[in-house]
Amino acid sequence: MVQYNFKKMTAVPTGKDFIDIILSRTQRQTPTVVHKGYAISRLRQFYMRKVKYTQQTFMRSSQPSSTSSPLGRHPSDHYKLALGQINTARNLISKVAKDYVKLLKFGDSLYRCKSLKVAALGRMCTIMKRISPSLAYLEQVRQHMARLPSIDPNTRTILICGYPNVGKSSFINKITRADVDVQPYAFTTKSLFVGHTDYKYLRYQVIDTPGILDRPFEDRNIIEMCSITALAHLRAAVLFFLDVSGSCGYSVAQQAALFHSIKSLFMNKPLIIEDMKLVTEMKAEAAKTVVAQGGEASGEAVLLTMSTLTEDGVIAVKNAACERLLNQRVEIKMKSKKINDCLNRFHVAMPKPRDNKERPPCIPQAVLEARAKETQQKEKRKLERDLEDENGGAGVYSASLRKHYILADEEWKEDIMPEILDGHNVYDFVDADILQRLEELEREEGLRLEAEAEAEDDALDMDARDLSPEEREALAEIKKKKAMLIQEHRIKKSTAESRPTVPRKFDRYRSFTTKRMGRELSTLGMDPSAPSTGERSQARGDDEAVNMDVDQPNKKLRLRSRSRSRPPGEVVPGEGLRDSAQKVKAIKLAKNSVKLRNKSARRGEADRVIPNMKPKHLFSGKRSIGKTSRR
């Protein structure tokens, strides 16, 4: 099925852009290198190829895509005139190319062949410049067609027409999801609007057209011509709207005159006339007026009443239009020649009664009993909601999840489930005198702890025999403090085993400082400066420890205390090098080995990436003179 989507139409370039496109394509797609030393036949062929390619490109690019006029927006004469000028330009370009190809066959030098080629391309460009106004006009037509809705001319279509401001847009807004602007003045709708509705599981296309005035055809404007063109070219069911109240600004006689002036466009199309039901008594008068002026009225099937304000009769009008259109399409298909090929493939059997005897349906008695039993069970069955209401409501009643268990004994459903640990039932290991045994184990553990404490006290007494009472107290404090620190460390390690160590500078409370350590050592009767001096002397060596005792200026002390950097050539034990010269030579060889790799921007020894040495955007395009058999 054909779908007209004007938004995909290619833009029409201006005359100057058209020439630039053609000449650029010729330059890119044909050889560009020629020498005066070539044979004259080769020179002639070179320039004839350019002229022929330019002419073929003009012919392909200026092919008219459509010869039918757009829906009333632009006059048909102007549209056909523009297409005719383009067709004439194509013929002239073909004639120019043919003439200059003949002249090029007799060219006797490179200069003469080149001059003929320039003259040919120049005349083609001049012809295209002359039709620049036509190209600009066709671009405007394309832009207008791109703004048109996508209308499928082959699907089921309902077309709404009538005088301005009679309720056409309100009706399409009611029966479809279209959002057409509705205002209390005429010509609110200035173009075609499309909506879609469903009837009997089929999709219908509803088109709202601008209002039409009753005047001669040549006096109608562009907006009215949209409606006239749609009525003339679309195969659809026509809904002609009448406003019998006169609130639209036009009398019933004027609307009937418009109906008779355009009724020639309704030929072979289902026609339904709607009058807006504002005054019900005016319906008979409207029907009489339409019939008196030459119309036909066949009851409710032709003249229907509705009101978009109260939505009375809107669905009836839509259903009547869809039904009449569907019947007409079925009749047309039944009259076509293709139906004969389909009818012989199937047969519709229509059963006929063989006598007047009644044969009611026979249902077995077992089936009736089963149905009755199911009905009783459904009536007697209590839901969880009913049980909840009977037992105190939500928050009080707790539904039992075990009542539907299938067990050998119904009393087992509410039994307490045994607990399973490591695949074993805990109740299998329960001992009757387990509490008594627990007391015995606790008593035994207490005796063992007391024996260990007495052994520790005896060892402490043996170590502290040679100490004075003050030293014993200090030793007890140290051991106590040590035990507490060990306990704190174990607690921290157990809780923060996977955490990284927080630097001291991020310690929030600054609790562990050197001053605190000094105070604690002082309370224990020890000199805080002695350990620091001993550690420094052991770290530096004997010679530095001696220098620390000598009185020297502070500057020299700072220089001594700084760590010295090792020179790159110094040999560290364990490197496997003989002396400093061998190490310097090894460093130099290592630098030279990675120099080429770094120059090629390799990531390492395993980097085997081969970069693209000839990117396509730099080396594609014009072909050089030579063999092209490999391309």
Least confident of 19-28, 448-457, 494-503: 494-503
Mean pLDDT in residue range 36-57: 93
For residue 124, name the pLDDT band (cuts at 50, 70, 90): very high
Of residues 307, 183, 310, the one with CA closest to residue 242: 307
Residue 86 burial (CB count, 10 A): 17
Residue 466 vs residue 586, higher pLDDT: 586
Q: Where are the domains of the chain?
A: 6-147, 157-340
User: Residue 276's pLDDT band (boundaries 50, 70, 90)?
Assistant: low
| Percent of the chain whose predicted confidence (pLDDT) is above 90 | 21
Q: Give the number of other CB atoms < 10 A from CB of residue 204.
A: 23
Provide mean pLDDT across the span 533-546: 47
Cα–Cα distances (Å) from 274 to 12, 240, 241, 621, in that order, read 44, 6, 5, 66
- Distance CA(463)–CA(579), nearest Å, equals 54
The answer regarding whether domain 157-340 maps to CATH 3.40.50.300 reads: yes
Provide the pLDDT confidence category of residue 506 given band limits of 50, 70 and 90: low
Q: What are phi and psi of 160, to 5 degrees?
A: -105, 130
pLDDT for 559 beyond 70: no
Is pLDDT larger for residue 310 or for residue 76? 310
pLDDT digits (tens, 9 = 90+) for 261-273: 888 888 878 887 7
Predicted local confidence at residue 515, as pLDDT: 78
pLDDT tops 80 at residue 364: yes
Whole-number Cα distances in Å, 212 to 216, 218, 221, 250: 11, 13, 9, 12
pLDDT at 540 over 80: no
Residues ≥6 apart with Cβ < 8 Å to 12? 135, 138, 139, 142
Banded model confidence at residue 552, pLDDT cuts 50, 70, 90: very low
Highest mean pLDDT range out of 105-119, 148-162, 321-335, 601-615? 105-119
Which pLDDT belongs to residue 618? 66
* CATH architecture under which domain 6-147 falls: Up-down Bundle (1.20)
Instruction: Give pLDDT, residue 589.
Output: 92
Q: How confident is the model over 107-129, as a mean pLDDT?
A: 93
Average pLDDT over residues 164-174: 88
**Which tops the pLDDT comparison, 578 or 91?**
91
Cβ pair 321, 207 in contact under 8 A:
no
Q: What is this structure's pTM?
A: 0.40
463: pLDDT confidence band, cut at 50, 70 and 90?
low
Condensed to tens digits (0 to 9), the pLDDT of residues 278-337 reads 334 444 544 554 444 444 444 334 688 888 888 888 898 999 899 989 988 888 888 887
Per-range mean pLDDT, top range of 91-105, 226-240, 461-475: 91-105
What integer best gives the mean pLDDT of the chain?
79
Q: Are 6 and 141 spatial neighbours (Cβ–Cβ below 8 Å)?
A: no
pLDDT beyond 90 at 622: no
Average pLDDT over residues 387-412: 86
Token pair listed for 493: 């390690």
Q: Which runs of consecutive H residues, i.e. helices, occur in 262-412?
A: 282-292, 314-335, 338-343, 365-380, 384-390
